[in-house]
């Protein structure tokens, strides 16, 4: 091969770490591998260059000799030739083992029984707006897998022990050769556990865990909203063969409120205002989540006018200022009038002449007139 600088071949700095070397080599190898570039001599040569560079720089002794004496230093150690596809230290298999481990479910087994973390659980919790805003403590009952007590999670009958799997020698993985690639797969006999239970526990039937219902107490912080979730660490399902438990996630859903609508930190509501109060002005009591407050209604209030009550909204769970309460005025038309009341209203209506008493109506009529005039032209 051409005697290019090994660092230049991999495209790394001279102080590159082993992780950086592996990442750079993986990138080069995937790009120029012969399986991806059939009948391409140039790609094959670059692949060999990258492998040789990685073999040298990934070995501390060879790298030290190369840094001091260049290619001459490693040629004397037998590290400068274009090696084959062996799986020695820093070889092709080591560089790609983690990739295949991710694809086929786990890395190299280290011997012994393989334990798996338990699954996470989800619990959907419906809260009233009051509890979501002020915070509360709830008790929830969830179905889950827990560690089997008679066998202490091992899956084997008390007094017996699991045996090492003779197919994978306890690694939980078997290695298959496919062309240039050495691929790890989960052992088909022990399913990755590394051990075979010949005499299973009668309670859990060899699973190491049993299904139960458990009651948990959870503190709900003030200010939570729909879409928030609360994590209870280790309260999920127990892992197989004594593995660690997963987590429990409580997903919050705030129920609709008969009066208030929440938008982030603010609350909104509609306040009915009588015809006379809207015209003459006055004072109303309006509800908040913390009690009632007085709301001043100015004279000539129109439907849709928004009143702001500061600090009567929600304190966000993630911090920030307390929101406000917005009250929208809705003018009520009187109903069930008697004859005397109707006569009074007719006289009152007759007394109203001119646009100054009905500004919105006058403006709307002008717009209607302009609209029809435009249609005629």
**DSSP letters of 231-277?**
EETT-SPPPBTTPPP--EEEEEEEPP-SS-EEETTEEEEEEEEEHHH
CA–CA dist 106, 103 (Å, integer): 8
Q: What is the rounded average pLDDT of the residues 41-67?
A: 86
pLDDT at 178: 60
CA–CA dist 332, 286 (Å, integer): 16
242, 146 contact by CB (below 8 A): no
Residue (of 221, 219, 220, 223) closest to 314 by Cα position: 223
Share of the chain above pLDDT 90, in %: 23
182, 84 contact by CB (below 8 A): no
Does the pLDDT at position 358 exceed 60? yes
CATH class given for the domain over 6-104: mainly alpha
- Homologous superfamily in CATH for domain 261-332: Urease metallochaperone UreE, N-terminal domain (2.60.260.20)
Does the pLDDT at position 306 exceed 90? yes
The CATH topology of domain 121-254 is: Chaperone, DNAj Protein; Chain A (2.10.230)
Q: Which of 161-165, 257-261, 295-299, 304-308 is predicted least confidently? A: 161-165
Does the pLDDT at position 219 exceed 60? yes
Q: What values do phi and psi take at 65, rounded to 5? A: -65, -40
Q: What is the rounded average pLDDT of the residues 56-85?
A: 69
Structure tokens at 216: 């948990």
All residues at 6 or more sequence positions from 201 whose CB lies less than 8 Å from its CB, including other chains: 148, 150, 151, 154, 155, 156, 157, 158, 208
Q: What is the rounded average pLDDT of the residues 294-310?
A: 91
All residues at 6 or more sequence positions from 368 whose CB lies less than 8 Å from its CB, including other chains: none
Q: Do the domains spanning 121-254 and 261-332 agree at the CATH topology level? A: no
Does the pLDDT at position 181 exceed 70? no
Q: Tell if the pTM clears 0.85, that is, is over it.
A: no
Domains in the chain: boundaries: 6-104, 121-254, 261-332, 344-376
pLDDT at 314: 93
């Amino acid at each position: 091969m051409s005697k290019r600088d090994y660092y230049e071949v991999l495209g790394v700095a001279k102080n590159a770490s082993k992780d950086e070397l592996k990442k750079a080599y993986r990138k080069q190898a995937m790009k120029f591998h012969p399986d991806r570039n059939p009948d391409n001599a140039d790609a094959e040569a670059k692949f060999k260059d990258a492998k040789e560079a990685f073999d040298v720089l990934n070995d501390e002794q060879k790298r030290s000799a190369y840094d001091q004496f260049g290619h001459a230093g490693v040629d004397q150690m037998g590290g400068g030739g274009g090696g084959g596809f062996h799986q020695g230290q820093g070889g092709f298999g080591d560089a790609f083992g983690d990739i295949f481990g991710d694809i086929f479910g786990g890395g190299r087994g280290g011997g012994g029984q393989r334990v798996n973390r338990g699954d996470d659980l989800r619990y959907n919790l419906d809260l009233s707006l009051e509890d979501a805003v002020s915070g509360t403590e709830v008790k929830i009952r969830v179905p889950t897998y827990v560690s089997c007590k008679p066998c202490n999670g091992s899956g084997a009958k008390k007094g017996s022990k699991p045996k090492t799997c003779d197919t994978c020698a306890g690694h939980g993985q078997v290695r298959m050769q496919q062309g240039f690639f050495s691929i790890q797969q989960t052992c088909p006999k022990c399913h990755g556990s590394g051990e075979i239970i010949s005499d299973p526990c009668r309670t859990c039937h060899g699973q190491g865990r049993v299904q139960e219902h458990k009651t948990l107490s959870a503190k709900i912080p003030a200010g939570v909203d729909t879409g928030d979730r609360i994590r209870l660490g280790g309260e999920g399902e127990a892992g197989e063969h004594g593995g660690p438990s997963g987590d429990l996630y409580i997903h919050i859903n705030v129920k609709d409120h008969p009066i208030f609508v929440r938008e982030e930190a603010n609350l909104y509501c509609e306040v009915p205002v009588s015809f006379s109060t809207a015209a003459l002005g006055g004072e109303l009591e309006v509800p908040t989540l913390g009690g009632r407050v007085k709301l001043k209604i100015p004279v000539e209030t129109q439907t849709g006018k928004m009143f702001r009550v500061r600090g009567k909204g929600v304190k966000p769970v993630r911090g920030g200022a307390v929101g406000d309460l917005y009250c929208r005025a809705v003018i009520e038309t009187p109903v069930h009038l008697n004859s005397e009341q109707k006569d009074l209203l007719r006289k009152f209506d007759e007394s109203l002449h001119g646009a100054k008493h009905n500004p919105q109506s006058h403006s709307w009529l002008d717009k209607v007139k302009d609209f029809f005039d435009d249609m005629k032209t």
